[in-house]
A and B are shown apart, each in its own frame.
Chain A
């Protein structure tokens, strides 16, 4: 398998504070990497370094011709911003140089109905807005998708359906998926590799090696149990 992303010795600091220290990992093309860790461990900062919006030391090497689709954690949108979902997608179509009929394709891929797409984006529900951002990321056929807590602000059934959607889209388009998540049971089920970030150390490996009670306790610094059942379902208790 070819490599989609290679990170070596990545460090990011703001002033005196080091948020990420000497981080190295690689991601295989077409695989799913989940990034976990407590708040403040630098998960979002890692994404922003990967897309080049914060200065960093070290190397971030994407495969040639990589097209990135990014879904940020949350955006502060005014309720009365006169911009509909369709306006937003049209703008992306123009910038990415893709035909406008892409809009219908991505809207149906994320199951967002036309009615919601024609409403101002500030009035959409959390789940609808999330789907719109996924649709925005999918335009222009990205080879890599970055999701920052894709299910924050979404109710549990919606959460599961967003993960199922990723899985289905990934099977269809074969893109590489990087996602930040707190949902360890979903991470267990959907990720090929897990990258854990914490103040103390970082670790990388398949879920079965990384998501152990000892590792999680060391990382989150709290009582954290994670049960793996025989039929490969995970459950996290704090």
Chain B
């Protein structure tokens, strides 16, 4: 039987990989995927705690996180498409019209 710490360390690793992706990558879509990775790591933490504390609340939170993730991805990808229509790029280095 794996201890709670095992699951928490795994989800910390997934989260950090997601953070690295957001910081390092320049493609907006890959950045969204990294955000999904982070959300999944958090979900794993919730479910692990829910299992080891015998509570169901953690799984309810996972449902909420999934709904928010779906909304976030839909809106984010719509933004990417809108930006791509205007500027023809999805590279966040070149999307700098808010920078002064």
Q: Do A and B come from one complex?
A: no
